[in-house]
Structures are given as C-alpha cells and as structure tokens.
Amino acid sequence: MKEPLLSHLDKAGRARMVDVTAKLPTARLARAEAVVILGRALAARLRRTGALSKGNVLETARLAGIQGAKQTADLIPLCHPLPLDVVEVHATIVGDRVLIEAMARARAATGVEMEALTAASVAALTVYDMCKAASKNIVIGPIRLLEKSGGRSGHFLRKGASASGQNFGHVWPADPSPAGCVAPQLHTSSMRLRRALPSGRLVHRNMTALLTGGTSRVRKG
C-alpha cells in the first residue's frame, strides 16, 4: 500500500506552504474535541458554582476557543489564513472532567481542521489556566478531530462520533462510566435547547436526554 504524501514537505524534504491557487473554494466543516481531567473534587466544585477565583471557567474557555480559532494561521506556521464563517465551542462537565467540542466552518480552498483543533486546544488550556490555582493535577487530553467535510479527501467521521446536526454530536470518553456521570452542564453560544411555539407552549428538552439520545420532555407554559 502506497504511503500518503506529506503535503507540507517538498521533494527535498523541506517544509513548505501548500499551493492552493488552482483549487476552488468549497464549503468546509470540521469538529474537534478536547478533554480536561480535573479530578472529582474540583469538577464537583466547578459544577456547583460555575466559577473559581478568576471567574466563569466554561464561558471564558468558550470565548478563548473562538478567539484561538481566528488566530490559527499566526500560531501554526504553514496554515493558510482562512475567512471563517462561524466558530462554535461547547464546554460540558461530565464526571471528573470537562469535555470541549469546537466546530469551524468556512468556504475556502483548504480545510478548517486546524481551526477546530486550535479552538478546542485553546479552550482546554484556558480551563487549565482558570483552575490551576485549585489543583496542579489537571490533565489535558486527548485532543482529536471528530469530523471533517469538504475538499478532495471527502467526509471523515471518527468512529463513535455523531454526524453534525442541530446540536453537536459528542464522543464521551469510556471513563468515567455512565454510572459515575452526572447530568452535564452545557455552555454554548447557540443554545438550541428551548424554542417557543405559537400556542404559547415551551418545549424544554431535558439536557441529559438530549446528550444521551433520549426523548424530549414537554413542559406547558
């Protein structure tokens, strides 16, 4: 089987920026995930208060991830600066960890995987920075691509990940076990968990059911 070429190396093995002049812009999407293991005591404290001495941890991390995605080309030497259409970041507390998922979309001649990965990475580093005074045992990882679409390589979806939809599809790590997980708290720039109906009823999706594939509950207003 022929080894795939490393596009950022020329024939002499020198690093280079890939020439995308001849490629037409197409719709690109990428999702990436990062995990920050806090430990149960710190996670419980964060779940209870939502903030530590520096402020709201998950909201700060979400905004940092969006900002980080926009700086990708400045951080990664051979990345192309891309006109991002949207970047969204979710941060969720599950068990003893924070699960972060980032999504980036653009219409461009090259993919947005690095933007999604950078957003997830910067958000994870921000969680660490916000929490480091409370614990030195915080662990970051894994950080991984969940999905990408667009371009010649086509669609990639990591095994076990849900395809992109109205809400992101999360890949929860095997540890902690479902029995040790509590109802997640979701902080996102696009909270689509509620929608008003003309009849005046309010559909409120149970967050745990939403993230675990269960059914929605209807609450009358």
Answer yes or no: do 131 and 218 share one domain.
Answer: no
Confidence band of 7 (pLDDT split at 50, 70, 90): low
Whether 186 maps to a domain, the answer reads yes
Residue 69 within a domain: yes
Task: Please report the pLDDT score of residue 208 as a whole number.
Answer: 34
CA separation, residue 92 to residues 80, 139, 151, 192 (Å): 30, 16, 30, 15
**DSSP codes of every residue in 146-202:** EEEE-STT--EE-TTPPPP-SSPPP---SSS-GGGPPPPEEE-SS--SEEE-TTS-E
Question: What is the pLDDT averaged over residues 122-136?
Answer: 95
Supply the angle between the helices 57-70 and 113-131 in degrees, to the nearest 10: 150
Residues 48, 128 within the same domain: yes
For residues 63-76, give the mean pLDDT.
94
Same domain, 79 and 151: yes
| Phi, psi (deg, nearest 5) at residue 124 | -65, -45
Does residue 15 form part of some domain? no
pLDDT band at 153 (very low <50, low <70, confident <90, very high): confident
Mean pLDDT lowest for which of 46-60, 66-80, 90-104?
A: 46-60
- Which tokens go with 115? 């933007």
Q: Are residues 74 and 133 in the same domain?
A: yes
109 and 217 in a single domain? The answer is no
Residues 145 and 182 in one domain: yes
Band of pLDDT at residue 19, cut at 50, 70 and 90:
low
CATH (domain of 135): 3.30.70.640
The answer to whether residues 203 and 183 belong to one domain is no
Share of the chain above pLDDT 90, in %: 45
Give 32-50 pLDDT, tens digit per residue. 999 999 999 999 999 888 7
**Hey, which residues are catalytic here?**
129
**One domain, residues 39 and 56:** yes
State which residues form the domain around 126: 26-190
Q: Is 36 inside a domain boundary?
A: yes
Q: Is the pLDDT of residue 115 over 50?
A: yes
Looking at residue 80, its pLDDT comes to 86
pLDDT category at 104 given cuts 50, 70, 90 is very high
Residues 200, 218: Cα–Cα separation, whole Å: 12
Is the pLDDT assigned to residue 129 strictly greater than 50?
Answer: yes
Region class of 136: left (phi > 0), else alpha (psi between -120 and 50), else beta: alpha
- pLDDT > 90? residue 67: yes
